[in-house]
Amino acid sequence: MIYDALTATALRQNLNRKLSHGRVQKVTQINELCITLEIYAQQQRHNLVISADPQVGGVYLTGQALRRGIETETPMLQLLRKYLRGAWVEEITQPPWERILHLVFSSSAGDTRLIVELTGRMANLILVDATSVIMAAVRHITSQMTSARTILPRLPYAPPPPQQRLPPDQVTPLLLEQLLAAVPAGTPLWRALQQGFAGISPQTGREWAFRAHGAADVPAGEINDTAPLMAASQQLFFPLQDENWHPSVSPDLPHARACAPYLLTHLGTYVPVADMLEAVNICVAAFSSLDPYGERRKRLGEIINQARERLERRRQALQRQHIDPAEVQRLREAGEWILAYSTQISSGQQELLVPLDPDPPLRIPLDPQQTPIANAQAYFSRYEKSRDAAQEIPQRLAAVNLELAYLDQLDSDLALAQNQPELEEVRAALGERGIIRHRPGSKRSKSPPSQPLRLVTQADLTILIGRNSRQNEQVTFDLAQPDDLWLHARGVPGAHVIIRGEGKPIPERVIQQAAALAAYYSQARNQTHAAVDVTERRHVRRIKGGGPGMVSYRNERTIHVTPAATLD
């Protein structure tokens, strides 16, 4: 996201119109850099997202009700809830030509300000009291990190060092002439404007240069007449007075990556939007969708990956211990040959040669310090150990492979989880396998268990979709009848899908619809085409030793479909 002073100003004006005199009803922390405030204003509920993420950060409204994604409450969240929940939004202010917004709140707990610094890599959210003393910040800045300022609790808030640049709304022909004369030869006009005036991003510099001279990269040294620059500055900066902005986004919707409070004419094409809030929403959505459970999902994903790495190391170790059955047989035969020729083996003999006409003789190494009987017993002992290992290692390897397959399923469960109960079920499954330990004294989730998705087709047939391993177990072995149809994406973790026949013939169109759903609720969801197996539920069996929802099946047929999230 590109934020400069113009963008921040247009946002501030939009937000003041929508949120002033509104009341904060909820405070949520999505991750360590992002919070949301549910504000009731003008008889409407607004979800205000405030993020210090350098890539997708900013301040914008969303229609999505976001929930906590962090594992434990942070001091920042505790203080925000103490001072902002129930507080009134007095106003949103902005230091002149800065990418900083001050959200001013009043409440019985005391007046506070939430300072949002939209400063790229060093973006921050800082809560200060009525005397501008810092109470909390999402990023702490120490004196060892920078000498410019320190951002720590209980210290006075110090804003970023002021820009030593000219205010763009006070530009004059003389100032422009002096600026252009001072820049090094070959400097593009847009860069000279961006470096010479406060609060101007490279994007705004390019737009200013393009409007004045039809090219963003024209060299500053070639400009002899400042009148076009003065006229373009009036176009760009006059909305600071009348708030008549003309926001737009870059044209490659829905993947817009540029937005501005003006028409982006230097990009060639642009799409006008209603206001700056809409423009920012489109840009943020293009960079990434905000996951209300992102932090928790990320942590569980890391735990799954760590467990997978441990199992992969165990599998490799078992594979290195693989014993060739021919070697096991050779050890037994060696012991038998030694016993057969024991009377012909002399003391101190190091090798027994067994004639195998017409093949070359068999050479069996001997321990010259041992008797023939002791040598034979040594070979028989090695044979028994190798035989047992040859039988045990494949079993242990199969168990490891089964655990890896179950982790793949949990990874799919995690990606498909849409709410708190479904995330908690992934955690619970990890706990049941001993991957996560339940900490003594910690509270277990009291959320009701998630339920399979249930859809009814136009043919009045019910389709059940298990969206995680526990739901898969439920739909297949608790809810389905033996003659119901069972579907699963072939070769990848995913949903068990059941078509309830209820004694009726199942049309092929319904099977295609259910197969598309099975593909969507699997790791094949982003593929253009996916293979889905179909069989009767009676042919599905649990895998012994496998996790919930792990099955084998037979008598299937395979169809190819395009993944779909809904019945078409």
Condensed to tens digits (0 to 9), the pLDDT of residues 402-432 reads 999 999 999 988 888 877 778 888 988 898 8
With cut-offs at 50, 70 and 90, classify the pLDDT of residue 174. very high
| Segment 197-219 mean pLDDT | 93
pLDDT category at 357 given cuts 50, 70, 90 is confident
Q: Report the C-alpha gap between 417 and 424 in whole angstroms.
A: 9
* Topology (CATH) of 5-137: ibrinogen binding protein from staphylococcus aureus fold (2.30.310)
pLDDT at residue 496 tops 60:
yes
Phi and psi at residue 384, to the nearest 5°: -65, -40
Q: Tell me, what's the pLDDT at 148? A: 86
Report the range of poorest mean pLDDT among 69-78, 89-98, 214-223: 69-78
pLDDT digits (tens, 9 = 90+) for 297-348: 888 899 999 999 999 999 998 888 778 888 889 999 999 999 999 999 999 9
How confident is the model at residue 560, as a pLDDT?
Answer: 95
Q: What pLDDT score does 398 carry?
A: 87
Residue 356's DSSP bridge partners are 359
Rounded to an integer, the average pLDDT of 453-459 is: 88
Listed as own residue / partner, the contacts of 76-80 with beta carbons closer than 8 Å and 24 or more positions apart are 76/29, 76/35, 76/125, 76/127, 76/136, 76/137, 76/138, 77/27, 77/29, 77/35, 79/127, 79/135, 79/136, 80/27, 80/29, 80/35, 80/114, 80/127, 80/136
Average pLDDT, the chain: 89
Confidence label for 388 from pLDDT (cuts 50, 70 and 90): confident
Q: Residue 23: name the closest of 107, 114, 119 by CA.
A: 107
Contact 16, 55 (CB under 8 A): no
Average pLDDT over residues 221-232: 93
273-278: long-range contacts, CB 8 A cutoff, minimum separation 24: 273/247, 273/248, 273/249, 274/247, 275/10, 275/14, 275/245, 275/247, 276/7, 276/10, 276/11, 276/13, 276/14, 276/245, 276/247, 277/11, 277/14, 277/15, 277/18, 277/60, 277/61, 278/247
pLDDT at 290: 55
pLDDT tier for residue 232 given thresholds of 50, 70 and 90: very high
pTM of the model: 0.60
